[in-house]
Amino acid sequence: MDAEFGQVSIVGAGLLGASLGLALKQRGLARRVHGVGRRQVSLDAAITSGAIDAGFLELADGLAGADLIVLAAPVNQAAAMLEAVQAAAPLHAVITDVGSTKADICRRAAELWSAPRPFVGSHPMAGSEKFGPEHARADLYDGAVCLVEADTSIDPRAADTVRRLWQAVGALVVAIDAAQHDALLARTSHVPHVLSAVLARLADGEDIVPDLIGNGFRDTTRIAAGRPELWTEICLSNRDAVLAALGDARKDIEAFAAALESEDESAIAAFFDDGRAARQRLCGP
Amino acid sequence: MDAEFGQVSIVGAGLLGASLGLALKQRGLARRVHGVGRRQVSLDAAITSGAIDAGFLELADGLAGADLIVLAAPVNQAAAMLEAVQAAAPLHAVITDVGSTKADICRRAAELWSAPRPFVGSHPMAGSEKFGPEHARADLYDGAVCLVEADTSIDPRAADTVRRLWQAVGALVVAIDAAQHDALLARTSHVPHVLSAVLARLADGEDIVPDLIGNGFRDTTRIAAGRPELWTEICLSNRDAVLAALGDARKDIEAFAAALESEDESAIAAFFDDGRAARQRLCGP
C-alpha cells in the first residue's frame, strides 16, 4: 500500500522544509520526498541528512509526479512563485506553504485557481532563532501549533489532506481565516518584534552600563535577536495589519505618557493593572 | 569584637528588607537587627523567620541606637520619610535605601543634610514578581548587582559602609550618579515595562486565539505581570526620564511605521539589523 501522502515535493530546503522532509521520511508518511532548491550543495546535504530522496534545481522537474507540494521558501518568494507552481503542478496535487503571513499568498492563490482550489495556506508555528537545514529536526513540528487557512473557495479534499499532513507530523491544527490570521499575528508576533527592536535600540548607546541590564530587559528584547531579513519580509507582507496594530500601540503609549505627564496616579495604575490582567488572560498566571 | 555593621535598623519588612535581615543575621554581620513596620503581625513574622531581632511600630524607637539604617519601604514612602529619619537617626548613623529610582530620594537627602552627608542611595537589582516577607531569602542579594550612589556631597565613611554592606551580602557594587542611574534605568527597565504592558493590552481582546500565543509573546510580555503598584510608583518617581525615553521610543516607532508605509525594504532591514546588533551588544550573542 502507498504511504499516506504519496510523493511529496518540498520547495525550499531550509529549517522548515528539511525538518518536514525528515519527519515525513522517518514516519513513513511519503512514498518519496523531492526537494527543490537553488543550490546543488544544499540539495546534496538534504539527501545526505535523509530529509529528501532526490533534489532538483528546476521547479518543473521537482514538482513532476507530486501528490502534495509544500512551499517552504521565504514568504515573499513563495507568493511570487505561485504562478509557476500552478503551471508545473500535476492537476491532482494539493499545495500548501509554511509562511508566517497568510493574507497575501492566500489572496494570490484565490486569484490563480478557480474554486474549488487545491492551495491551502499553512503557518506552522515552529522554528526559532536557529535557521538553515543544519538545524533541521524530525520532531520540529511535534507539539507545535499549525494554523491552516479556512476559506469557502478551498477544495475540501485539499483542506483535509493539509490538515492530516500537519497532524501526521505531530502538530495541533487550528483553522483560521487568512485575514484574521494576519491581523491577530500582527498583534501577538509582528508588533512585539518591532517593539522588542525599539527597546534594544533605545537602550543602546555609549553611556550604557552593562551591569544595569536585568532579566526584564533580556526577556523583552530576546526576539530582537531574530533574523532581520525574516522580519523585514514578514512586516512587508503584512504591512496593513502591522501598521494598524502599531497605530494602536502608539495611541496606548501616548495615553500612558499623558497620564504620567499629569501625574495621574490612578490612570497609571489602571494601565499597569489592565496590562497584568491581559497578560494573565493570554499566557496564564 | 563587634559584628561589622553594629546595630542595623531596617525600615520596611517586605521582600527586600526581610531578605537583608536574614542575610545579615545568618552571616553574623550585625550585632542586632531592628525592624520597623506598620503592622505588629508582620514584625512578629519577621522575628519568627529570623530576619530581625526586635520589631518596632514607631520609627524613633526602631532607629534608636542604630549604626546603619536601611530604608526598605516603597520608593515614594522612603523619600517622604527621610525628614523623620533624619530627626530620629543617631548622629553617627549611616543611612541608605533600596529604591528602584534614585534621583528623587538622593536630591531630597542632599537638601536635608549638609555635606558631608550620611545618606547614600542604593538600588540592589534583586527581587522579582514574588514579593512580601514570605519570599525572603538570605541569598537574595548573592550575585546581584547593587547600584550605589556616587556624589561629592556624600561622607566618604558612609559611602564605604554602604559599599561594604552590599558586598558583605554577596552583591556586586557599581557606583553611579543618581540622575544618570534614573536616565539609564528608564531605558533598560522602566520603558520596557511600559511597552510590555502595551503589548499585552494590544493583544488582548475577544477575538484572540490562545493557540497563537507563542514564546516571543510570552517573553516580551513577561514583565507586564509585575505588580502594578510598584511600577506606578517607579514611573511617577522617575517621571521626566521615563517621559524622555518614551518620547524616543515613539519617534523610533514612527520612523519604522513610515518606512513600512512606503515599503522601504532597506530602511526596514536596517531597523531590524540595528536592533539585533544592539541586543547582542547589550546582552551578548
For an interface test with A, the pick among B100, B212, B248 (most A C-beta atoms closer than 10 Å) comes out as B212
Q: Are A79 and A104 in contact (CB under 8 A)?
A: yes
Burial (CB count within 10 angstroms: exposed 0-12, middle 13-18, buried 19+), residue B53: middle
Q: List chain A residues with CB under 8 Å of B171.
A: none
**Pick from A217, A228, A260: CB nearest B192:** A217
Q: pLDDT tens per residue, chain A (285 residues)?
A: 468 999 999 999 889 999 999 999 999 999 999 999 999 999 999 999 999 999 999 999 999 999 999 999 988 899 999 999 999 999 999 999 999 999 999 999 999 999 999 999 999 998 766 777 788 999 999 999 999 999 999 999 999 999 999 999 999 999 999 999 999 999 999 999 999 999 999 999 878 888 889 899 999 999 999 999 999 999 999 999 999 999 999 999 999 999 999 999 999 999 999 999 999 999 988
* Cβ atoms A65, A59 nearer than 8 A: no
Amino acid A128: pLDDT: 63
Identify the three-state secondary structure at position A3: coil
- The full set of domains in chain B, from first to last, is 7-176 (3.40.50.720), 181-283 (1.10.3660.10)
Whether B217 sits inside 8 A of A247 (CB atoms) is no
- DSSP β-ladder status, B145-149 and B122-124: antiparallel
Q: Which residues, 6 or more positions from B268, have their beta carbon under 8 angstroms from its beta carbon?
A: A232, A235, A236, B256, B259, B260
* Closest partner CB to B176 (pick from A147, A209, A283): A209
Find cell 503584512 and name the residue: A238
Judge residue B122's burial from the number of C-beta atoms within 10 Å of its C-beta, 0-12 exposed, 13-18 middle, 19 or more buried: buried
Contact residues, chain A, for B100 at CB < 8 Å: none
Q: What is the model's pLDDT at position A1?
A: 43
Q: Are B271 and A197 in contact (CB under 8 A)?
A: yes
Instruction: Kindly write down the DSSP assignment for every residue of A6-50, as one continuous string.
Output: -EEEEE--SHHHHHHHHHHHHTT--SEEEEE-S-HHHHHHHHHHT
Nearest to A57 by CA among A87, A86, A37: A37
pLDDT attached to residue A211: 86
Type and span of the H or E element at B26: helix B15-26
Say yes or no for a CB contact (<8 Å) between A188 and B203: yes
Which of the residues in chain B have pLDDT under 50?
1
Instruction: Spell out which residues of chain B touch residue A224, defining contact as CB-CB under 8 Å.
Output: 272, 275-276, 278-279
Sheet of A172-176, strand order: A122-124, A145-149, A172-176
Answer whether B211 sits within 8 Å of A269, measured CB to CB. Answer: no
What pLDDT is attached to residue B84? 97
Question: What's the pLDDT score for residue B1?
Answer: 43
- Which of A180, A208, A260 comes nearest B184 by C-beta? A208
Q: A221–B247: do the CB atoms touch at under 8 Å?
A: no
Kindly determine whether residue A254 and residue B257, on different chains, have CB atoms separated by under 8 Å.
no
pLDDT recorded at residue B72: 96
Q: Is the torsion defined by CA of A215, A217, A220, A223 positive or negative? A: negative
pTM, two decimals, is 0.91
CB contact under 8 A, A199 and B249: yes
Q: How far apart are CA B120 and CA B109, in angstroms?
A: 8
Count A/B contacts: CB-CB distance under 8 Å: 295
Nearest residue, CB atoms, B272 vs list A195, A202, A231: A231
Q: Do A282 and B203 touch (CB under 8 A)?
A: yes
- How buried is residue B58: exposed, middle or buried, by Cβ count under 10 Å (0-12/13-18/19+)? exposed
Instruction: Determine the distance in angstroms separating the CA of A18 from the nearest CA of chain B, rounded to an integer.
Output: 22
The one-letter amino acid at B20: L
Task: State the smallest CA–CA distance between residue A143 and chain B in angstroms.
Answer: 11
> B8 vs chain A: nearest CA distance in angstroms?
27
Instruction: Choose, out of B272, B273, B281, the residue to mutate when testing the contact with A (most A CBs < 10 Å).
Output: B272
